[in-house]
Amino acid sequence: MARVLSAETLDAIAGARARYPSAQSALLPALHAAQAQAGYLPEPVLADVADALGVPVTEVAAVATFYSMFHTAPVGRHVVRVCTNLSCHLNGADGVMDRLCRQLGIRPGQTTPDGRVSLEVAECLAACEEAPVLLADADRVARVTPDAADELVRRLRADA
């Protein structure tokens, strides 16, 4: 019996499972689905995924911790990923990151105390023609300026 995952998430995992000849291949899609529901991947969620696919939970945990998009600790309701790689670096990404740190009162890799926003360094987002670039959750923001960063923080704070 699943402890945390909903019937809907388990259905999604079963759907993914059917696309591969091996159950373990569905692990990444399953972890994506689980994280979409639970927000992050604590031990009980990993156990549910392990059960759903018949893969040892130690293996599920090893995979979950390898990939940077999977969070095994709680993250903010919003995740802001700022690219600071080469083309963005050349176009002022460090200034954007500094402004976000100041406005949010946190450092990259941290979450605001109210649990609203997590800030992360992103590697090249393959959108260098729009440098500097960030991802606010699933939305890519092009040619970010420090002022646009202020605006983003206001928007994320206002969102209930």
Partner 1 sequence: MPTPERIVSKHLGPERAAIDAYLSTGGYRAAARALKELTPDQIIEMVEQAGLRGRGGAGFPTARKWKLTPKREGETRYLVVNADEGEPGTFKDRTLIEGDPHAILEGSLITAYTNGVHHAYIYLRGEFFLGYERLSRALAEAYARGYFGTNILGTGFDLELTIHRGAGAYICGEETALLESLEGRRAFPRAKPPYYPAVRGLYDRPTVLNNAETMAHIPYIVGMGPEAYKAAGPPILYSVSGHVVRPGVKELPIGTSLREIIYEHAGGLRPGRTLKAVYPGGSSSAILLPEHLDTPADFDSLAKIGTMLGSSAIIVMDDTTNIPAVIARAVDFYRDESCGKCTPCREGTVWLSQIFARILGGHGRMEDLDLLDGISRNMTGTCFCLLGESVPPSLRASLKYFRDEYVRLIEAGSRRAEAEPAARSAHGAGARS
Counting contacts by CB under 6 A, is residue 33 touching ligand FES? no
Cβ neighbour number for residue 104 with a 10 Å cutoff: 22
Contacts of 59 (CB under 8 A, 6+ apart): 24, 50
Helix (H, G, I), strand (E, B) or coil at 135: strand
27 binding partner (options ligand FES, partner 1, none; Cβ < 5 to 8 Å by kind): partner 1
Counting contacts by CB under 6 A, is residue 85 touching ligand FES? yes
Triad 90, 91, 97: Cα angle to 5°: 100
Distance in Å, CB of 21 to ligand FES, minimum: 35
- Name beta bridge partners: 135: 81, 140
Site for ligand FES in 95-134 (CB under 6 A): 124-125, 127-128, 131, 133
Counting contacts by CB under 8 A, is residue 70 touching partner 1? yes
Counting contacts by CB under 8 A, is residue 31 touching partner 1? yes
Phi first, then psi: give them for residue 102, nearest 5 degrees: -65, -45
Counting contacts by CB under 8 A, is residue 117 touching partner 1? no
Encoded amino acid at 65, one letter = T
Q: Which residues of the shown chain bind partner 1 in the complex (CB under 8 A)?
A: 19-29, 31-32, 55, 59, 62-63, 66-70, 81, 84-87, 89-91, 98, 122-129, 131, 135, 138-140
